Structures are given as C-alpha cells and as structure tokens.
Structure 1
C-alpha cells in the first residue's frame, strides 16, 4: 500500500497534516530524521505510517508509560499488532514478548528507555527484522533540555546492533542547542531536521499578575466558554481547586498520578467526552490526549521551564479555533521556584546516603540485585529515613544518571496470565479434575491466544461470567499457578525502582559532581527565562518564539500585552478626537458642562468628562463656575 492508502485505511484521513508527508518520505529514503512538531501536530503518524509501509518491526522508545499504553491500544484497535515492554513486567513475560517480536507478526514494539539497559533486550533486538527506530520525546536525550533522562543516552547502542536502520527522533519542544545535541547523541549520519513553526496564531497567551489567584481563575472560567484544563502544582491543590469550581457552579474534576488507574481512566474519558467541563490536574495529565476543542489552559502555578509551559499550554485550541493560555503569577511564585531549585540539587553525600538506604530498605546484600524491579513506596521510604520527598526524587535522578538505579513513577500494569502447558496437558487436567473444568473453559472462551502470549484480564469480568466473587477468581488463578498450569500476574499500580547494577558499598559509589553543577546552571537559565516571560511587557508569543530560536517574528496582536498596547493607542486617538470637538464647540460659544458633553460625538461620557477636566487643569479651557469657554 502507498502511504496515502495506509493513512486512509487505518486513520480514515485523505491528506496528511503539514510536514507529516515530508517526514515520512525522509524516513522511507532511509535518512536519520529529527522532526519538531508542536503538541497535537500528529507525531505518531510520522513513524507509524512508514513502519507499516515497510517489512519488519518498528521499535519505539518513549519515557511515557501512559502514552505507550494508549498508542498500543489504539494500534491494536485498528488491527495492527503492537506490544509494550515496561518496568514491572516479569522476566518471563518480557521473554515471551521479545520472542513474539522475533518470530511473530508484531509491527510495533514500545520500550521504555530503561529497558534498553537490559542485555537481554539488546541481544534479542539483534535477531529482529527492524525497519525503523522511533525516539519519542527526543529532547530527553539532551543535557541542554529541560527533561534530560540519562537512560536515553543508550539509544545510540542500537546503531551498533542495526547500523543501517534509520532513526526518527520526535519532539514538540527543542531549542537550537537541543536540536544539535539530539542529532549528535543519536549519531545521525548527516544533519536532517524538519521543523514546523512554534507559532500558534489561534492561542492568546495571557499573564495575569494578582495576589488572589483563585478569583482570577474563576474570572477566566466565567469569561471563556467551553472545555478547559487547570494545571496545579500539587495533588492536594487539584482536589481543592476542583472543589471551589464546583461550589461556584462549574463542572470540574481533578486528576493526578496518585489515583487508581481505573479512576484516572474514567475521569479522563469523562473530560474527553465533555461530560466534565474542566479538569484540574498536575502535569501528569494531558500527554497523548488529542481533545481538539479545549478553549483554555490555565496554569495556577508557574512552570519550571518555557518548554514545559509551551507543551502544556499547547493543549488548547488544537481545532485551530480561538483559545486562551493563561498563566497566573505573583511574586510568591518566584520564591517557590527558587525553593524548588534548592531541592533539585542535593549534595553528593546526600545522594550516596539515599543509595545506601535504598539497599537497606529492600534488604539487598552487597553485590546482588542487578536487573530486578521492585515496587517502591517513596512516601514510606522518606518517612522511615526522615527525607524530603522532592529532594529524594532528585537524588534518584542523579543515581539514574550514573546508572545505579532507575525509577519510574506509577506504572499501571493490568492483571495478565499465560498458560504454561500445551493444550493436551490442560485438557487432561480438566478430565482428571472435573471441578475445575468450568473455570478453565471460561478462561479459554474469554481470552484467545493465552497459550502463546500473556493476555490482559479483568478479574471482575471473569467473576460475572462465572457467577462468583472476584476473590474466588483470584484464588482460582493462584491455584492453577501452583499447579504450574498457568502464570498469573495480578495488576499493579505502584512506582517501580530497578537496580541497574548490583548493590555497591557506598564508598564505591561514584557521583559526577561536575555534572550536577552543569545541570544546576541549565536549570537556573530555564528558570530565569520563565521569570522573564512572566514579568516582561513584550508580546508573549514573540517571547516564546524567540526562546525557540525563531527570529524575524511579528507581534501576535492577541496576547495580553498586544491587547493593552492596542487599547492605549485607541485611548490616545479618542482623547484627540474629544479635544478637537471641545475646541470646535467652545470657539463658537461658551457651554455648560451638560451641553458640552452632549454635543461631543466621540468617546463615552466618562471619557469626555475626563478630557474636559484634563484641559481645565492644563489651563487650555476656562470656566466661570457655570459655563466653559476658551
């Protein structure tokens, strides 16, 4: 099929969005390609279409577990074979998935970058017929980026395994330095960048400076009709703001990564279908959600970088209709961000101490633990060792950079199972154990393919089909696992900590102090750029475009600064018109205030009186107490 036929067949679109076709053609020609498309610009189509057009499998590297899950489900719904391998999956489960990529009909394998650190994964990729490596959120590979992820540096290892396979790197936000760095780190054979302008003409960027942010937020929600997102700085705040909005009659809900996966899914679906008007969320919300009719995005708290702000604000107005991106800002935001800056850069000793206590927390012997993933309750860990949670998270980032551990927040893995025996052996068990015949038949009827793959199950659905309780279903699955007939993995929604290398004595732990100082400098520059954007009185769109190295830009005409300038210019013109009329009327005869105000055509009554007072104060007109004259 041609790429146009593939687009029509799977996506029911007749034409590509701007730049998509050029990017796809570049990939099909075997070129390493960096594609910069704004949020909502259709990045996934840029690798999915060429991968479907070629024989073999496409390997997609993405740090966003929820986005991987959504894309895999969307591809499967289209009849396209796709799977993902993330932290928290058992070794056997990973083994089966990789086998299916080598010997089966899988077209897309989604991997978290941490998984590339595994020798098992790298070795099995060697035997796959790979047609493309797609790197999503590619800015994560750059040390100059706002969201640097050390495991991304290992993506280049894939070039040694399949040197002829092209790489397509995709991101929504990247400065010139980051673009260059991405291509260097991914060992591009030659520079090749496709960039769509970062300009969003339909979005009005607004910064409102006020001490009472909640009142300002209510004003925006009242003034702008339609669906919206409010980004808050903490999980607690999402609940509190949603509560206030509901109390004022606005249909709102809250969302954060700490909620149960099923709860998050229901809330997200309710908002996407416009049953919920406003979603109040942490930055965990929005990735991969293509809701076109979002009319406003409000940031109650200042973001840590303009990249993050642009990406989140860009979720407004994807239908190209008028939309608003509002940042609520006051001087306390500067203090809060400075405090975050302090917590973001722990000392080398603090990092080493956290590493040591992680080993004790999981009771790992020195020299053991390499490659294992463990459920990690960071709240409990910090409580036990009297640590600040934010600082601990940042310690984990630096331990990740030095490849001691890898931390993934809130990985949701649904329950799944796979038969461990062949059909005949299972049938013999059913004959010899009649009491289990009905249970096993329900499993077989409900889930096809469980002899070859791990399949996702819902214990609640099984309980309904079997007319029994969820607990009895779980007990039944556990019993069949004890009989070695199947392998059952219950669902989990816990953060995962993976020990990349064996536990070491803290004296042997090497932390790069120079790297910490470098990250500190980059963080400071990005923080200062946010303050400049919030506090300067220049066209907001122009400031964002300049930040992303777009030069020779023009004023947008629709941000708060541009609108203020227009109002000031109009006010000056109105004053001139009123002044000219006053002079004309008084040059003929003196007039009372009432007759003078009523005779003037320009401006409002209030504006006319203001100009009369100004002219009087300046001595340009006079009064005897009753009438005005020149």
Structure 2
C-alpha cells in the first residue's frame, strides 16, 4: 500500500516523498480510521485527504468554510485531470442541482461543500447517490464553540455521519488548543465513541525567527526591517484604511508595495495577489482577508503592524513566512495603546443582549421580512448600506451578527466571491451552424473552447478580463457576447457574484422575543478574554523562547528552544562565561567586606550586567558564601 500511495503522490502531484507525518496520517485514513491532523500552516494538509481520496474508490466529500479556497482547490485539481466540484453559499438552486447531478453521474473524486449546504433538503436528496466513501473536514476548529472561529453549521457534520455510517473522517486544522482538539473529536464522533487517532506535527520552525518590538513609529521600524531583510514580504494590518495608508508610506520610501483587503473588487484583488506571487510587487500590505490558500514558499518576512487578538491568528499569519525552509522572520510591532485596545476587545466583541436584539430587528426590517418568514433563502446584504440606513456602529453590528450566527439565528458571509462560470449546452453540430450565422461570436466561442478544458462537461470558472486579454478586446464586450450566447441557448453563463450573503436559519420572530443561550455566550466571552490575556503575555515575555511559547499553547510540550527568536538571541548574547562569573564573584567578595543592602551592592557594581550579578548572588547564597542578616543587609561569610 505504501508504494501505491507514493505512486499516487508522484503521478498526480509530482512529489517523490511525503513530508514529515503525511505518510502516517494518509495510511491511517486509508485504513479507515477517524483521524485528527494538526499541521502547521504550510505543512501540506490538503494532500492528507487528497491522496486517500484518489486512492480509495468513490467520492471524497470535503467540508470547508472558505469559498475562495474551495474554488482554488477545484481548479488546481482539474488542472491535474482530477474531477472536482464545489457547492457553496451564493449558488442558485439550479447551479447546485447541476453540480450534484454531474457529480452523481461522473467519476467525480472530490466534492467541496460549505457546511451551510449539508442539511438542505436538496443535498440530502442527492447524498445517497453520491457514493461518498471518505469525509474531509477542513478548518476543523470551527466545530468547537471554545475555539477562536466557531461556526455553528459545522455542528451539522455529526448528523451527516449518521447518514453515512461507517464512512471515515479526517479532520484538519493548523491551530487548535488541547481543549479544542478534544472538542473536535467529541463533536465529530456524534453519539458514538471517540475513536479518533490524533497526529500532531511539531510546531517547531527552526528557520523562522520571531521578534517583538515596542515602537514609537511603525513605518520607521517597518522600513528598517525591509531594508535589512531582502525578499518578499507580507504586512498585516487590522483595518482596510490602514493597509492603503501604509502602502502609500512604503512607496514614498522607495519600496515596491501594494495593498489588499476584502473591500476591493475581486478582479483587482486577484491582480494584486498575482503581482505579489510573481514578485512584481515586493510587499503586500493587507488585512487577514489575505493569505488563505496562497502557496508562496519564499516569503522572507511577515510583519504585524497591528497586534492580533489571539495567538491562533498570529501563528497562522506569521507562519506564512519561510515555507521553503530558508531563514525568515516574523516581526510583531506594538505600543501601549495596542495593549489597552486588547484589554477592551472582550466588551467590543460580545455586545449586550439589548444591542443584539436591536441589530436583529434592523436586519429583518432591512430585508423586509415579516414575522413568521421561514428560513432558508439567501439575500444579498450590503453591510455598508445596512449600517448607514440604521445608524449602527460597524464593529457593534458585525459582532452582533456574529453572536446571532453562533446562536443559530442566521448565517452571514461577508466575503463571498463566486467566479463567473460557463458551460456549453449546444451540441457541436448546432454550434457549427450558430458560428456560421453569427461570425462575430466565433472568436469568443473558439477562445473559450481552447482555454477552458471540460467546458462542455460542467460549469467552468472563467475570467472575463482574461478572455478579453486573449482576444485583445474589452471585458465589457466579452460580457455582452456571453449574455447573448446564453440567451441564444449556446452556453449557460452565470456572471460572477461578490455581494455578501445573509440567510435566516430560524423562523423570523418578534424582536422582543429574541433570546440567545447566555450561558454559552458568557463562556465564549470568558475564553476569548483568556486568549487576549495569552496574547498580552506573549508580547510582554522577554525571556522564554517565543517558538516554545506558541508550541506549548497548542499542546506541543516537547518543543525545544528555537535559538533564533529575539529572546533566545538575547539570552545567548547575555550568557555568563566562567571568566565573567569569577570576576563578579571576586568583586562581590571585595565589596562585602562590610555588610550592605542589595541596592547598595548593585550601585557598587555599576557597569556590570544586572542579570549576571543576580545569577552570581543566587549561586553564592545557595553555596552559603553570603548570607542575609536580620536588618536586611547581606554579608560575606568568613
């Protein structure tokens, strides 16, 4: 079996060997065991379900919350001649039916599904015919309400297992504390016994140096870092506004930079991302909307211009540096205002019940939904327009929506990007006749057929701008012709969709009657406060190895000091040599000819490293060479 798995790896993905722990995880999955795989960012999680999915007969159902990542994975698999589809938020019923029918009647190996789709009647209707033999749960920490990114739709996966008895599960995550790991296994075991085998890759990144700097001027320190560390860089900011401001400042310093956030049009985001990946742009300044699923191994430095709210986010984002194994840097900048802002986060992130009711009322009025409206329909939801019309604070609105979502009242997806799709529906004979009578459409038809493999078999994601580039024409003209081909029954064309989506998941009730589970809500707030405290402790720590702190946080207690973080380097530089020890010992002995207080001793030894002095004092005390008198002074024992 091991040889066959390596052949699958080589044949489809071009790799000769598995990365550390991949082989063990894959073999356990192929043997039918339930598996939880904890692998750091860039550790190769996707192959851990893709290889078993290809090796086993039937279809692998992949559950993922990230639409952009789903669509990217599907395109990458198709390029390798592997049949894959995706069903997610924002797709019409007709599109979902087409995908499910095609997946059922083809040699489909991977079907990516957003968790919201799992319990729809439509999906349940097709489920028995899909031939599912393996379930992969990506971003598995989302199933735990004790995690940092709890998403209630993930709880439906346990019920899915009841529909597919005996089908093994592999759960994958890069960041889960021991408590969350345990919760993932329990939730995914359903009512049965927890039979999960847990694999955890070491959190050690020997090539990645973590550093923290307290700064008065962020741009000054960022410029200094970028001038000292050559190569590709990511700078993370908390707000969209800050990304553009920082990009402008870097350009003024002569550094090739661009900015990226979820507020930009999808095609502009894609262009910026590609320019950075191809090293046309050296530095990308972004919010945390950037980075998921991006495989760029040669990032030399990741800088956090603002403090993240938890170690989970920081670890994932910082971990995008140095995936090629070369020396890289993760730099975090802060000032006292950042620490104050961290302390205030729990109150901001967990609004009062009164505020949550107000936002719920605003939502149902904005969508004009009457009492008794049944759940299940997605609505375009313009967050900026919503806030403006109801005079809401954006932070309050977003976290009230989050609270409603986590209690199961609605589903809100702010970052929806569904690419345009095309599928040819006319038979080839009809197509020839159409081209003969519509000569102006022939260049577009031929470009689509030459560029997008499989466009006759299933809807293929296309870029109208790329097609326009190939045809040396305008994107607006391409869209116009696509609509005409659609109207004439030659193709099925679905334009791209970027509007945020909101769906009620419970029947619309009177606003005054709205309740949420306050016990769970309060517990989540308490755990969030603990995560904020851990982040503050990480920043304040100036002795312990930073890599070790992160590893311990995620349950890796065997991790060793990295030797390359700021704290490890400081300790190494301050290491007390035998010669220095003896010099300090003699100075202490000579100074203590008369008893004195420790502050007086320190004054006498001014110019000597204080940490080294304390080390020697502690040693001499243990050896009973010096002793403390009743008046608080110390003296040398003769």
Match among 560, 566, 578 for residue 572 of structure 2? 566
- Give, in angstroms, the shift of residue 245 of structure 1: 1.6
Q: C-alpha distance in 1, partners of 2:169/2:456? A: 34
Counterpart of 2:557 in structure 1 is 551
Asked whether the equivalents of residues 251 and 276 of structure 1 are also in contact (C-alpha less than 8 Å), the reply is: yes
Q: Say if 2:548 is the partner of 1:542.
A: yes
The match for 1:212 is: 217
Distance in 2, matches of 1:103 and 1:417, equals 20
Q: Which residue of 2 aligns with 1:388?
A: 393
Q: CA deviation at 1:260?
A: 1.8
Q: Which residue of 1 aligns with 2:105?
A: 103
Q: Which moved more, 1:59-68 or 1:448-457?
A: 448-457
Aligned match of 2:171? 169
Work out which of the residue numbers 339, 342, 348 in structure 1 matches 2:347. 342
Confirm or deny that 1:313 pairs with 2:318: yes
Specify whether residues 275 and 205 from structure 1 end up closer, same or farther in structure 2 by C-alpha distance, changes over 3 A only.
same
Identify which of 84, 96, 100 aligns with 2:86: 84
Unaligned runs of 5+ in 2: 587-605, 609-638
> What secondary structure sits across from 2:368 in the alignment?
coil
1:441 positional shift: 5.6
1:371 to 373, 376, 385: 376
Aligned-partner Cα distance in 1 for 2:361–2:351: 15
Counterpart in 1 of 2:156?
A: 154
Which SS does the other structure have where 1:133 is aligned? strand
Within 2, Cα distance between the matches of 1:18 and 1:125? 35
| Paired residues of 2:247 and 2:257 also in contact (CA < 8 A) | yes
Pick one of 63, 72, 75 that aligns with 2:74. Answer: 72
Residues 368 and 477 (structure 1), Cα distance of their counterparts in 2 relative to 1, 3 Å cut: farther
> CA distance change for structure 1 residues 292 and 143 in 2, over 3 Å: closer, same or farther?
same
How far apart, in 2, do the equivalents of 1:542 and 1:526 lie? Answer: 17
- Residue number among 14, 19, 22 corresponding to 1:20 in the alignment: 22
> How far apart are the structure 1 equivalents of 2:416 and 2:223?
34
1:323-338 paired onto structure 2 within 5 Å = 323-338=328-343
2:374, 2:78 → 1: CA distance?
35
Q: For 1:264-279, what aligned pairs fall within 5 Å after superposition? A: 264-279=269-284
1:624 maps to which residue? none
Q: 1:501: how far off?
A: 3.7
Q: 1:576 to 1:407 in 2, by over 3 A?
A: same
**Aligned counterpart in structure 2 of residue 322 of structure 1, from 320, 327, 331:** 327
Q: Establish whether residue 234 from structure 1 lines up as the match of residue 239 from structure 2.
A: yes
In 1, Cα distance between equivalents of 2:477 and 2:305: 47
Aligned partners of 2:46, 2:131: CA distance in 1, in Å?
A: 21
- What is the match of residue 34 of structure 2? 32
Task: Summarize the Cα distance change of 1:385–1:16 in structure 2 as closer, same or farther, 3 Å threshold.
Answer: same
Q: Describe the shift of the 1:79–1:353 C-alpha distance in structure 2 as closer, same or farther (beyond 3 A).
A: same
**Retained in 1: the 8 A contact 2:116–2:153?**
yes
Could you tell me whether the CA contact under 8 Å between 2:8 and 2:55 is conserved in 1? yes
Which residue of 2 is the match for residue 249 of structure 1?
254
Indicate the larger mover: 293-302 or 369-378.
Answer: 369-378
Please say which of residues 245-254 and 441-450 is displaced more in the overlay: 441-450
One of 520, 523, 529 as aligned partner of 1:515: 520
Q: Helix, strand or coil for the counterpart of 2:199? A: strand
Provide the C-alpha distance between the structure 2 equivalents of 1:573 and 1:265, rounded to a whole number of angstroms.
Answer: 59
Relative to structure 2, which stretch is displaced further, 380-389 or 415-424? 415-424
| Separation in structure 2 between the aligned mates of residue 436 and residue 229 of structure 1, nearest angstrom | 45
Which shows bigger deviation, 60-69 or 357-366? Answer: 357-366
**What is the CA–CA distance in structure 2 between the aligned matches of 1:401 and 1:77, rounded to whole Å?**
37
Q: Which residue of 2 aligns with 1:619?
A: none
Aligned-pair distance for 1:314? 1.1
Give the Cα separation in 2 of the matches to 1:370 and 1:419: 34
Kindly indicate whether the alpha-carbon contact (under 8 Å) linking 1:422 and 1:451 is maintained by their aligned counterparts in 2: no
Shift of 1:355: 2.1
Normalization by structure 1: what TM-score?
Answer: 0.85
Further displaced range: 334-343 or 98-107: 334-343
Q: 1:91 to 1:311 in 2, by over 3 A?
A: same
Deviation sequence 1:88-144 (CA, Å, 0-9, x none): 111100110011111112111111112224221133222211121001111111122
CA contact (8 A) 2:444 2:471 kept: no
How far off its partner does 1:285 sit? 1.3
Of 189, 199, 204, the residue aligned with 2:204 is 199
RMSD: 2.9
Shift of 1:409: 2.0
Alpha carbons 2:61, 2:111 under 8 Å: kept: yes
Structure 1 pair 470–557 and aligned structure 2 pair: CA distance change class (3 A): closer
Equivalent position to 2:360, from 355, 363, 366: 355
Q: Is the 8 A contact 2:543 2:571 kept in 1?
A: no
Given that residues 7 and 13 in structure 1 are in contact (C-alpha distance below 8 angstroms), is that contact kept between their aligned partners in structure 2? yes
TM-score, normalising length from structure 2? Answer: 0.84
Sort the Cα spacing of 1:485 and 1:70 in 2 relative to 1 into closer, same or farther, 3 A.
closer
Alignment of 1:612-623 (within 5 A): none
> For the Cα contact (< 8 Å) 2:36–2:197, is it kept in 1?
yes
Q: Find the partner of 1:45 among 44, 47, 51.
A: 47
CA deviations over 1:498-525 (Å, ceiling 9, x no partner): 2334433324433222221111101100
Of residues 92-101 and 346-355 in structure 1, the stretch that sits farther from structure 2 once superposed is 346-355
CA shift at 1:274, angstroms?
2.3
